[in-house]
Amino acid sequence: MIKIMLAEDQVMVRQGLKAMIQTDDEITVTGEAGNGKEAVELCDKQIFDVAILDIRMPEMDGIEAAKILRSRFPHMKILMLTTFDDNQYVMETLKLGVSGYMLKNGDTTSLIRSIKSALSGGLSLEEQVAAKVVPALLQNEVVNSVDPTLTPRERDILKCIGEGLNNKEVAERLGLSVGTVKNQTSQILDKLQLRDRTQLAIYSIRHRLV
């Protein structure tokens, strides 16, 4: 069972999101918080697979909470939730290494897909968000050539990561095993001296592999 910690300051919105999430038999919300401070405290006491954080919350916002959770629980996936498709927020959270950025007016299918994609190593951006963030990533960017130490296969994998594919999807597209994709992704991270898949996706977009 996939365990979710849901942080949203508006109770009715939180209840609605919880109901949407739990339409999937594989996912359950086992922790709820009304602000970022409560979210961090919950994660200190319980084990969650995914934390879903609203960007704007009282006491401690989602961005600050994400920073703390990323440092304390690096293996827990984090999804950001907001009504504001503002690329400033998107850029800040993506640099933290979160696994996705969703708008509150998204549908149930998109929400569940984002949760499962995060757990599989994918990066989820709603279309409205992607339309904002991709130009922002490329704006005034001096694009250097892709690191010459990358092999053609590693470039193919990097391109797929930039498209938001998870390990299984990359393996299916390239005709590789999931284990091979994981190993080569680790090698790419080492070569580029990057921290996680989100940074790989940003690298891929900035170097116009996507």
Chain mean position to CA 147: 24
The count of structural domains within the chain is 2
Please check whether residue 146 lies inside any domain of the structure: no
Please check whether residue 165 lies inside any domain of the structure: yes
Domain that holds residue 190: 152-206
> Given 137, 172, 197, which residue is the final one in a domain?
137
Q: Do 10 and 33 share a domain, yes or no?
A: yes
Is the pLDDT at 147 greater than 90, yes or no? no
Who wins on pLDDT, 199 or 11? 11
d(CA 66, CA 40): 9
- Write down the mean pLDDT value for the chain: 87
pLDDT single digits (tens) 80-119: 988 765 666 777 777 788 888 888 878 898 899 889 988 8
Please check whether residue 70 lies inside any domain of the structure: yes
- Measured at the CA of 69, the angle between CA 20 and CA 200, to 5 degrees, comes to 85
> Given 103, 137, 171, which residue is the final one in a domain?
137
- Is 145 exposed, middle or buried, given 0-12, 13-18 or 19+ CB atoms closer than 10 A? exposed
Kindly report the CATH number assigned to the domain that includes residue 126.
Answer: 3.40.50.2300
Q: Do 39 and 123 share a domain, yes or no?
A: yes
pLDDT at 85: 59
Chain mean position to CA 59: 23
pLDDT at 10: 93
Chain mean position to CA 176: 23
Is the pLDDT at 143 greater than 70, yes or no? no
Please check whether residue 147 lies inside any domain of the structure: no
The CA-atom distances, in angstroms, between 153 and each of 85, 150, 172, 173, 184 are: 34, 8, 14, 12, 9
